[in-house]
Structure 1
């Protein structure tokens, strides 16, 4: 205040040189403020999209497909001119599959890195852990968490970018019903996604007149499935279905084969969809069913180009995780363009209004942010490769059932 008074009431006239100096200082301060202020639409700096991903840990195989889908999606956005006249840049860290680490990393992304946009990590457990943080900072975030709880209205800035968990294995139950199978043994990993998936399986089975004759959960770090599989086999079910990830799906198959436990149908949620499933199990993979949310032969918008570009960029075929992540980036771009700014509430509202055709199918939400558009399909390992077998309208090969004895 004293400086302000001295400038207003100087004791002697201020020279032209001093006035010019003060003007130069003011201009310099103004330029500095403009260059360090939060990114506006006129800034040439890239729009930064932050997330954590499981690059190491038990779930790293499917999570790396998520990462590559995000990367290819960012490439596509930039090839089309970016967002709001700016390129996009990914900022990501390895959460190692740890919920506590994911929370720390999203805190860093929001408060230290000050990213402009967020997308979600791999796994429902991690999304549930970061949901309160994302909501507190009011950051709109599309998340590839299939369970419904994070999108039940408690966390209004989250939107679901993948098929709802209860719908994952409905096509498997439909297929089993057409074959007249009546009994089911259900093996469930004791984590968030498999537990909710199991509820969906049981509800659909009951609706189709299929009876659960054996049910058991097991810890995520289980390595020996022999006793579990023998108990399931003793119930003589028509089907053995696993609410699983990759490692436990492989473990259950190895134990069933070693113990000569047979069923007419073996199906697993996450596991058979991964290329590693076939390379790890060899001939034992043949005949096994899995669920997928996408397939390279589907006639979805831009799918053939996506597959071609993914192979060129990463030297391997995509799986459904990669396709869903790429579709997430497609939805993010559409929401930001609809919002016309980086205002997070406007972007969240734009997500809820989208009805978008992506490589994974139709992206469409209800007013809670739950996914309504995407569906699931059944694949089967046949002669060492994956074939889409259900529903028949999109199948690349007829389903081969019953499962042959080991």
Structure 2
């Protein structure tokens, strides 16, 4: 029999070097860490979204590792700042996937950055758990993409239910010209008539605008308007509150779940009193009834986070907590870090108690939260009060 070993080995080496064939890396089997990739908005106007998420992820991963890790392996967080730019988020996601070889993406502070990266997660077959709020992230369902925050549709319907209890059915809408604002506006305009609500004014402000007086003046002169709904986040949502008070606009004001943090109360000051928002139980842990199944989860998180960082929890940290929780639970049930099996396990999540609510995922639902898990909050004496 002829032996070609001396001839074949050089050819094989050349083929591998030029990527003509691939050879499994023996080191892969011996990897001792599991890599979690994150792109978050930790600088710029929306930094208040990414910073609590970053801190929460670091704290949770350190806690898991100190307890022995996950399936005997340590978790490694690889995190980059996208500055709120969708194109930068895509570049960072590619880096996480191609260079850092992450096992999952648990990331996405905004709807815009999440939606920009979603096609990449689908193409590469990588579990992607987003923190962003818009329904479009999971509707229609994408095989590899999930989200842990309540959808804008749920938030809008929670507000509409409260409006009707107060006998208010005619609403003026002021929404932000951003991914979150546009997606929310679409959901509001679709859901309103189905909820018995009439949108009598539809104004828009720019994400970088420093004044919304023109839009609010138009709303003030609208004789039909019974309430004002502002849909945005960051500085624009705060400016709208200040202008609202300056114009002495007497309509009850509602805002989106995009402002669910104590920082919003601090930034709006006395002008924010009486504003109502839909939010997760995680930001009002101490006010959640003792009989609520989420009580222990949200109180534990609040105590640990505030003790470590000396600042109040926010919805954006809550989302990060649930993102880690969802992934860890899925890996444990799958018994492996294999991406396809982990994806399947995430989709099969059932009765998982998180800080946002109780998750029940399915093939048709990659959010897994119910409308009932939202709380309706009101700012009273510089604090949140649960209204419903």
Shared fold, TM over 0.5: yes
1:39 to 28, 31, 39: 28
Superposed, which structure 2 residues align to 1:215-294 within 5 Å?
215-236=202-223, 237-263=225-251, 265-270=252-257, 272-294=259-281
1:138 to 125, 139, 142: 125
1:163 to 140, 150, 156: 150
Name stretches of at least 5 consecutive residues in structure 1 with no aligned partner.
7-32, 391-406
| Residue 359 of structure 1 pairs with residue 355 of structure 2 | yes
CA distance in 2, matches of 1:377, 1:231: 31
Equivalent residue, structure 2, for 1:395: none
What secondary structure is seen at the aligned counterpart in 1 of 2:387? strand
8 Å CA contact retained: 2:170, 2:199:
yes
8 Å CA contact retained: 1:152, 1:368:
no
| Residue 349 of structure 1 pairs with residue 344 of structure 2 | yes
Superposed, which structure 2 residues align to 1:124-203 within 5 Å?
124-152=111-139, 155-203=142-190
Compute the displacement of 1:320 (Å). Answer: 1.7
Equivalent residue, structure 2, for 1:16: none
What secondary structure is seen at the aligned counterpart in 2 of 1:168? helix
Compute the displacement of 1:312 (Å). Answer: 1.5
CA distance in 2, matches of 1:345, 1:191: 33
1:333 to 317, 328, 333: 328
CA distance in 2, matches of 1:267, 1:379: 10
8 Å CA contact retained: 2:297, 2:353:
no
Name stretches of at least 5 consecutive residues in structure 2 with no aligned partner.
8-22
CA pair 233-205 structure 1, distance change in 2 beyond 3 A: same
Count of residue correspondences: 360
CA pair 38-158 structure 1, distance change in 2 beyond 3 A: farther
8 Å CA contact retained: 1:62, 1:274:
no
CA pair 38-201 structure 1, distance change in 2 beyond 3 A: farther
CA pair 2-238 structure 1, distance change in 2 beyond 3 A: same
CA distance in 1, matches of 2:207, 2:246: 21
8 Å CA contact retained: 1:272, 1:381:
no
Residues 162-207 of structure 1: per-residue CA shift (max 9 Å, x gap): 2122111322211111111121100111222222222333444323
CA pair 76-388 structure 1, distance change in 2 beyond 3 A: farther
CA distance in 2, matches of 1:328, 1:85: 20
CA distance in 2, matches of 1:213, 1:319: 32
Compute the displacement of 1:2 (Å). Answer: 8.6
Compute the displacement of 1:350 (Å). Answer: 0.5
| Residue 384 of structure 1 pairs with residue 382 of structure 2 | yes
8 Å CA contact retained: 1:246, 1:270:
no
8 Å CA contact retained: 1:95, 1:102:
yes
Equivalent residue, structure 1, for 2:86: 99
8 Å CA contact retained: 1:184, 1:210:
yes
| Cα RMSD after superposing both structures | 2.3
Equivalent residue, structure 1, for 2:309: 314
CA distance in 2, matches of 1:151, 1:359: 20
CA pair 101-342 structure 1, distance change in 2 beyond 3 A: same
- Asked which structure has the greater CA Rg, the reply is 1
CA distance in 1, matches of 2:63, 2:156: 31
What secondary structure is seen at the aligned counterpart in 2 of 1:145? coil
CA distance in 1, matches of 2:180, 2:35: 29
Equivalent residue, structure 2, for 1:371: 367
Equivalent residue, structure 1, for 2:35: 48
CA pair 212-284 structure 1, distance change in 2 beyond 3 A: same
8 Å CA contact retained: 1:156, 1:369:
no
8 Å CA contact retained: 1:151, 1:368:
no
CA distance in 1, matches of 2:108, 2:323: 12
Compute the displacement of 1:153 (Å). Answer: 5.2
TM-score, length basis structure 1: 0.83
TM-score, length basis structure 2: 0.86
Residues 355-379 of structure 1: per-residue CA shift (max 9 Å, x gap): 1112322112231452132432211
Equivalent residue, structure 1, for 2:192: 205
